[in-house]
């Protein structure tokens, strides 16, 4: 007989530390995205070059990749909440610099190239900080709830993350239109400050062990675990390639401004549409978790992501475009919940930070790398053809992994 906790759709939410954790995660996600959307839109207005949007992603991902593995090593051997606080403080510093940089007259003495360098340098600093924040946050979550409700905590943490991903872009477009760029950046700074307060309410301090294992060997252990655990490797690979080649989020300003012609308000709706689909799907999956036939479900979901990406690329109707993006979010949510459950169940406690950092390098960084790829491909091939090709490539990756991983269909993540 299943325990009450394992069948309770709200089981994870009954733990106070988990509630503070997801509140912080929701607000942090919304705030980061508000900042990225409004600065990205401003950059596109300044340059009218889709590559300028991709360079924001590149500026973040380079330091993230360089520091994430070391960040995972530190997360396994230090207080995870302290690491998150320090990293968040540096991110706040970057936001303050952006706020000052966009004050009237501040950049008048700078050349246009110097202005761009300043903006991209701030995103470089943010990416560096996220290289420590992300593995600490990801490896903290499993310690906040019992093991038997990991799948439930994955559903709720993903749902609230998506809530932040909805609120951030949707609010960003309207805030940009009605209170202006600099006032929106001031709200960003204040919101990050609230995140710091929420972290202080988490009382669980996971045990950590400082080892004498050499740094390089410690980092290799994380890689070895991922590559020898096939379900972890393939789950990460599916997400990596779908986001890297199938994502369109970074170039949505191009669709909003030049193809659909809906302005910053329309951009907010487009940017939020995938997250609305994901959030609604995730709330449903709190009652009907997708982890019983996990491997079948994740393959179908990622293939669907590719199909609806192609539909979005070909659409010239605003509401059809919103529907296609909505469905990409719905499909992505299934993949995210299954992958997060896998990443909570399989790694040993003493290796969670390093495994989270490897996942972050390949998945979290794929958002920024995907942004750069999208901007570059749109510049070289044209916006619509580049997105169509990305959707086709995603479906191809799913087909290849299906033939390589058919033995994983028998694995059950829940009883």
329: number of Cβ within 10 Å: 25
Q: Which of 13, 264, 335, 28 is nearest to 164 (CA)?
A: 28
- Cα dihedral 250, 184, 32, 239, rounded to 10, equals -30
Q: Is residue 36 part of a domain?
A: yes
> Using 50, 70 and 90 to split pLDDT, how confident is the model at 364?
low
Kindly state whether residue 147 falls inside one of the protein's structural domains.
yes
User: Quick one: pLDDT at residue 307?
Assistant: 94
Cα first-last separation, the chain: 10
Kindly report the number of other CB atoms within 10 A of residue 4's CB atom.
Answer: 8
Contact 209, 349 (CB under 8 A): no
**Is 210 part of any domain?**
no
- Indicate whether 379 belongs to any domain: yes
Looking at the chain, the whole-number percentage of residues with pLDDT higher than 70 is 91
* Distance separating alpha carbons of residues 287 and 284, to the nearest angstrom: 6
pLDDT at 401: 92
Cα–Cα distance measured from residue 324 to residue 318, given in angstroms and rounded to the nearest whole number = 10
- CATH number of domain containing 95: 1.20.1250.20
Alpha-carbon distance of 22 to 153, in angstroms, equals: 10
Note whether residue 415 is domain-resident.
no
For the chain, what percent of residues have pLDDT higher than 90? 25
Q: Exposed, middle or buried by CB within 10 Å (0-12, 13-18, 19+), for 396?
A: middle
Per-residue CA distances from 91 to 12, 15, 24, 128 (Å)? 29, 28, 14, 9
pLDDT at 3: 46
Rounded-to-integer distance, Cα 359 and Cα 361, Å? 5
DSSP 241-292: HHHHHH--GGGHHHIIIIIS--HHHHHHHHHHHHHHHHHHHHHHHTTS-TTT
pLDDT at 300: 93
Q: What is the full DSSP assignment across 65-82? A: HHHHHHHHHHHHHS-HHH
Does residue 138 register a pLDDT over 50?
yes
Mean pLDDT, rounded, of the chain? 82
pLDDT higher at 317 or 221 = 317
Among the residue ranges 170-174, 249-253, 372-376, 391-395, the one predicted with the least confidence is: 372-376
- Which of 176, 183, 192, 191 shows the shortest CA–CA distance to 42? 176
Does the pLDDT value for residue 363 go beyond 70?
A: no
Task: Give CA 387 to chain center in angstroms.
Answer: 19
In a domain, 207, yes or no: no
Q: Report the Cα 115 to chain-centroid distance in Å.
A: 27
Split into its structural domains, the chain has a count of 1
Residue with tokens 């709706």: 269
- Torsion on CA atoms 319, 324, 327, 333, rounded to nearest 10: -110
Per residue in 45-60, is it b (16+ CB within 10 Å) or e — as a string? eeeeebbbbbbbbbbb
Q: Is 404 helix (H, G, I), strand (E, B) or coil?
A: helix
CA nearest neighbour of 200 among 92, 85, 87 = 85
More confident residue, 230 or 158: 230
Domain region containing 198: 12-202+215-410
More confident residue, 413 or 42: 42
Q: Which of 89-93, 212-216, 359-363 has the lowest mean pLDDT?
A: 212-216
- Mean pLDDT, rounded, for 223-252: 81
Q: Kindly state the average pLDDT of the residues 164-175.
A: 79
Q: Is residue 209 part of a domain?
A: no
SS3 content of the chain, % helix, strand, coil (to 5): 85, 0, 15
| Residues constituting the chain | 415
List of residues 6+ apart from 183 with CB closer than 8 A: 175
Instruction: Tell me the pLDDT tens digit for each residue of 99-120.
Output: 988 887 777 777 778 888 888 9
pLDDT at 304: 94
Positive or negative, the CA dihedral 295, 298, 304, 306 is: negative
Residue corresponding to tokens 């992994």:
401
Please, which pLDDT band fits residue 207 given cuts at 50, 70 and 90?
Answer: low
pLDDT in tens, 370-387: 666 677 777 788 888 888
**Residue 326 pLDDT > 90, yes or no?**
yes
Residue 180 confidence (pLDDT): 86
Residue 247 CB partners (closer than 8 Å, separation 6+): 309, 366, 367, 370, 371, 374, 390
Kindly state whether residue 335 falls inside one of the protein's structural domains. yes
Q: Which residues neighbour 389 within 8 Å (Cβ) at sequence distance 6 or greater? A: 245, 377, 381
Within 8 A by CB and 6+ apart from 142, the residues are 150, 153, 344, 349, 352
Give 62's pLDDT tier (boundaries 50, 70, 90): confident
Q: Is there a contact between 135 and 75 (Cβ–Cβ < 8 Å)?
A: yes
The pLDDT, as a whole number, for residue 122 is 93
Mean pLDDT of 121-149: 88
């Amino acid at each position: 007989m299943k325990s009450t906790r394992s069948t309770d759709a709200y089981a994870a939410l009954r733990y106070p530390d988990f509630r503070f954790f997801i509140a912080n995660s929701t607000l942090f996600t919304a705030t980061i995205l508000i900042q990225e959307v409004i600065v990205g839109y401003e950059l596109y207005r300044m340059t009218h070059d889709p590559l300028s949007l991709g360079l924001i992603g590149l500026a973040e991902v380079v330091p993230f990749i360089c520091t994430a593995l070391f960040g995972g090593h530190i997360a396994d051997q230090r207080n995870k909440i302290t690491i998150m606080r320090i990293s968040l403080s540096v991110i706040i510093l970057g936001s303050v610099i952006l706020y000052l940089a966009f004050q009237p007259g501040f950049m008048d003495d700078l050349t246009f190239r110097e202005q761009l360098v300043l903006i991209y340098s701030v995103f470089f600093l943010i990416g560096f900080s996220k290289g420590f924040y992300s593995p600490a946050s990801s490896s903290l979550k499993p310690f906040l709830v019992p093991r038997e409700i990991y799948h439930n905590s994955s559903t709720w943490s993903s749902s609230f993350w998506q809530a932040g991903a909805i609120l951030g872009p949707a609010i960003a477009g309207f805030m940009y239109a009605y209170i202006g760029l600099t006032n929106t950046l001031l709200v960003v700074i204040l919101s990050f400050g609230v995140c710091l307060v929420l972290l202080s309410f988490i009382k669980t301090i996971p045990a950590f062990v400082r080892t004498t294992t050499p740094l390089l060997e410690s980092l290799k252990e994380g890689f070895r675990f991922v590559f020898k655990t096939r379900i972890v490797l393939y789950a990460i690979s599916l997400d990596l390639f779908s986001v890297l080649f199938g994502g369109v989020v970074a170039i949505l300003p191009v669709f909003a401004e030049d193809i659909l012609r809906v302005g910053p308000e329309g951009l907010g709706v487009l940017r939020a549409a995938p997250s609305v689909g994901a959030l609604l799907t995730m709330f449903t999956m709190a009652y009907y978790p997708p982890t019983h036939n996990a491997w079948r479900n994740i393959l179908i979901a990622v293939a669907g992501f590719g199909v609806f990406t192609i539909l979005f690329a070909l659409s010239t109707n605003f509401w059809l475009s919103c529907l296609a993006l909505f469905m990409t979010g719905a499909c992505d949510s299934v993949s995210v919940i299954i992958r997060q459950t896998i990443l909570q169940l399989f790694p040993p406690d003493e290796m969670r930070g390093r495994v989270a950092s490897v996942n972050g390098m390949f998945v979290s960084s794929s958002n920024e790398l995907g942004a750069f790829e999208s901007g570059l491909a749109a510049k070289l091939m044209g916006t619509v053809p580049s997105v169509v090709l990305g959707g086709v490539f995603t479906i191809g990756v799913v087909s290849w992994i299906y033939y390589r991983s058919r033995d994983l269909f028998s694995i059950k993540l829940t009883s």
